[in-house]
């Protein structure tokens, strides 16, 4: 059970707990690089010690009362083959690319992300008319699109990863100036070996100065020849325009065997990559109890959150704990059996929006898919939570480069205080626990803590400090230094 020991320290912290201490060459605590980047508590990078806290997965809310936002309602669409590719926020508009049947790629758009229209694009004929939203015919598999923030050439502003509809099922790439008219890289030939026939994901990693490509892969047939043993991989390429085939694999894995039959219990159907505030999130769709007729089940698709930094292996703690990020719906609902996300998470000022495909039928049944939406508060993927017994958290030391501090906290039924310490963990006069303002009954994304004689931290600018949070009946999500 490869991750259970690690997962245990995530969920149970009722006693004192200390992270592995990082020390510089002189034996002093190493100073973390924080800058102005928001610090989330999804892992222990910034954490030194904590007491009476548990790390909890964020709670999602399903929009539209748990009903789908987009269904197959056009003659050229087929509900059993409706597939979500990507949703992005492009200026003041939401844009969606989706598979509408075995042959057509479709397009929809929305002003608010909730109410979608299917515009007449006039690009392809269906039954002698171009009055439809068909974007592409002979629709490739696993299509996703993204708006490249690194790109300077307008012709390459949008990029796409997909799989051709015929073997060898490797990943292909394309670019577009507008998201409608696409030109393939590498003359349309695959840039990876098989397999890429679920969901493919492409993004720009600013910290690594490279593109990352995520696809499924194969680990051969399972025991007895069936079913196949699916896995997932991700790769980096610093310049896909110069050489779209120059991908270096950094992670390539399937679930570790729990005996020779684990592939029957769960497989990595696909993993979508997302980077937020320097943290790598793996949005994993886990295909569980594979094979409707041969194995115990039921056969379902669950969606889990993975995390890592850089090229380290994913932390599968939430998978081992069997805690999906988006729970399947109640029996009879459109997403009661199948929850499968598209390319990425859309972030707004208020929170994170996760568009997903749901189905109430199994993989090999007469499926009927629809597209729904789940939302999270901003930074709310994971929290550190204190119950009735007060808890505290002390960060590792870092250079305070700004004059303001903000914290994302839900203490509407509790309270929180922020103490500031020096590098050695001693209270700084004026910012000690006894001088920190007790904040009660708040639920804010950008709460500015105060002290008896201070309303900001300008007097501590450029000093090496630690933060110590004291809270009860509250959830702490993140903090950020501001100029």
Which CATH number belongs to the domain containing residue 159 in this structure?
A: 2.115.10.20
Asked if 275 contacts 204 with a C-beta cutoff of 8 angstroms, the reply is no
Asked whether residue 331 falls in the same domain as residue 359, the answer is yes
Asked whether residue 86 falls in the same domain as residue 140, the answer is yes
How many domains is the chain partitioned into structurally?
2
Residue among 229, 267, 227, 273 at smallest CA distance from 250: 273
DSSP state, residue 136: E
The four Cα atoms 383, 356, 118, 146 give a dihedral, to 10 degrees, of: 70
Q: What is the largest CA-CA distance in the chain?
A: 78
Asked whether residue 73 falls in the same domain as residue 151, the answer is yes
Asked whether residue 222 falls in the same domain as residue 327, the answer is yes
Asked whether residue 40 falls in the same domain as residue 139, the answer is no
pLDDT value at residue 468: 98
Strand residue runs (E) in 344-389? 346-347, 351-359, 369-377, 382-386
The number of angstroms, rounded, from the C-alpha of 459 to the middle of its chain's C-alpha atoms is 37
Asked whether residue 121 falls in the same domain as residue 175, the answer is yes
pLDDT value at residue 228: 73
- Which of 342, 377, 412 marks a domain boundary? 377
Asked whether residue 259 falls in the same domain as residue 288, the answer is yes
Which conformational region is residue 266 in: left (phi greater than 0), alpha (psi within -120 to 50 degrees), or beta? beta
pLDDT value at residue 103: 77
Asked whether residue 430 falls in the same domain as residue 284, the answer is no
Quick: pLDDT tens for 125-166.
999 999 999 998 876 677 889 999 999 999 999 999 998 877
Q: Which helix (H) or strand (E) holds 304?
A: strand 300-308
Neighbours of 168 (CB within 10 A): 13
pLDDT value at residue 338: 85
Residue among 90, 112, 89, 86 at smallest CA distance from 98: 86
From residue 414, alpha-carbon distances to 376, 391, 437, 443, 475 in Å are 21, 12, 14, 10, 9
Q: What is the CATH number of the domain that holds 426?
A: 2.60.120
pLDDT value at residue 27: 61
Asked whether residue 96 falls in the same domain as residue 219, the answer is yes
Asked whether residue 306 falls in the same domain as residue 336, the answer is yes
Neighbours of 205 (CB within 10 A): 18
The range of the structural domain enclosing residue 458 comes to 4-58+385-482
pLDDT value at residue 297: 52
Q: For every one of its 483 residues, what pLDDT tens digit does the chain have, with 9 covering 90 and above?
A: 333 333 333 333 334 555 555 555 556 678 999 999 999 999 999 999 999 999 999 999 999 999 999 999 999 999 888 888 899 999 999 999 998 887 789 999 999 999 999 999 999 999 999 999 999 887 667 788 999 999 999 999 999 999 887 767 899 999 999 999 999 999 999 999 888 888 899 999 999 999 999 999 888 765 555 567 889 999 999 999 999 999 999 999 988 755 566 777 788 989 999 999 999 999 999 988 765 444 445 678 899 999 999 999 999 999 999 999 999 999 889 999 889 888 889 998 889 999 999 988 765 555 789 999 999 999 999 999 999 999 999 999 999 999 999 999 999 999 999 999 999 999 999 999 999 999 999 999 999 999 999 999 999 999 999 999 999 999 999 999 999
- Which of 377, 405, 430 marks a domain boundary? 377
Asked whether residue 224 falls in the same domain as residue 112, the answer is yes
- Which of 377, 411, 440 marks a domain boundary? 377
Question: What's the distance, Cα to Cα, between the start and end of the chain in Å?
Answer: 45
For residue 66, the SS3 value is helix
For residue 264, the SS3 value is helix
């Amino acid at each position: 059970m490869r991750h259970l020991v690690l997962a245990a320290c995530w969920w149970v912290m009722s006693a004192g707990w200390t992270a592995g201490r990082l020390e510089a060459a002189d034996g002093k605590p190493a100073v973390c690089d924080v800058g102005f980047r928001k610090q989330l508590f999804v892992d222990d990078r910034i954490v030194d010690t904590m007491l009476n806290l548990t790390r909890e997965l964020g709670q999602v809310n399903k929009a539209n009362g748990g009903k789908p936002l987009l269904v197959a309602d056009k003659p050229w669409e087929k509900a059993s083959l409706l597939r979500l590719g990507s949703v992005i926020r492009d200026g003041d508009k939401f844009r969606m690319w989706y598979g509408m049947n075995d042959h057509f790629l479709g397009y929809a758009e929305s002003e608010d992300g909730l109410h979608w229209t299917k515009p007449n694009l006039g690009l392809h004929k269906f039954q002698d008319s171009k009055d439809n939203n068909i974007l592409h015919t002979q629709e490739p598999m696993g299509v996703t699109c993204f708006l490249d923030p690194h790109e300077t050439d307008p012709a390459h502003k949008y990029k796409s990863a997909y799989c051709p509809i015929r073997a060898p099922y490797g990943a292909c790439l394309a670019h577009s100036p507008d998201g409608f008219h696409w030109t393939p890289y590498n003359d349309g030939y695959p840039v990876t070996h098989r397999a890429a026939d679920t969901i493919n994901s492409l993004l720009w990693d600013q910290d690594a100065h490279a593109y990352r490509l995520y696809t499924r892969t194969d680990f051969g047939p399972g025991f007895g020849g069936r079913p196949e043993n699916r896995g997932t991989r991700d790769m980096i390429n610093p310049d896909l325009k110069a050489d779209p085939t120059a991908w270096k694999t950094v992670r390539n894995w399937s679930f570790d065997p729990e005996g020779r039959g684990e592939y029957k219990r769960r497989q990595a159907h696909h993993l979508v990559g997302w980077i937020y505030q320097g943290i790598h999130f793996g949005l994993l769709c886990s295909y569980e109890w594979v094979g409707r007729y041969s194995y115990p089940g039921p056969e379902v698709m669950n969606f889990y959150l993975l995390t890592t930094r850089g090229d380290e292996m994913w932390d599968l703690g939430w998978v081992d704990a069997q805690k999906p990020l988006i729970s399947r719906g109640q029996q009879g609902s459109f997403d009661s059996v199948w929850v499968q996300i598209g390319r990425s998470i859309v972030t707004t000022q208020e929170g994170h929006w996760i568009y997903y495909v749901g189905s109430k039928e199994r993989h090999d049944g007469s499926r009927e898919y629809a597209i729904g939406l789940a939302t999270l508060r901003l930074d709310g993927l994971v929290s550190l939570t204190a119950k009735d017994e007060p808890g505290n958290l002390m960060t590792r030391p870092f250079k305070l480069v700004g004059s303001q501090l903000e914290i994302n906290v839900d203490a509407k039924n509790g309270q929180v205080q922020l103490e500031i310490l020096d590098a050695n963990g001693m209270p700084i006069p004026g910012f000690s626990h006894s001088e920190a303002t007790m904040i009660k009954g708040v639920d804010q994304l950008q709460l500015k803590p105060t002290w008896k004689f201070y309303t900001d931290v300008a007097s501590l600018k450029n000093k090496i400090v630690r933060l110590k949070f004291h809270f009860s009946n509250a959830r702490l999500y993140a903090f950020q230094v501001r100029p």
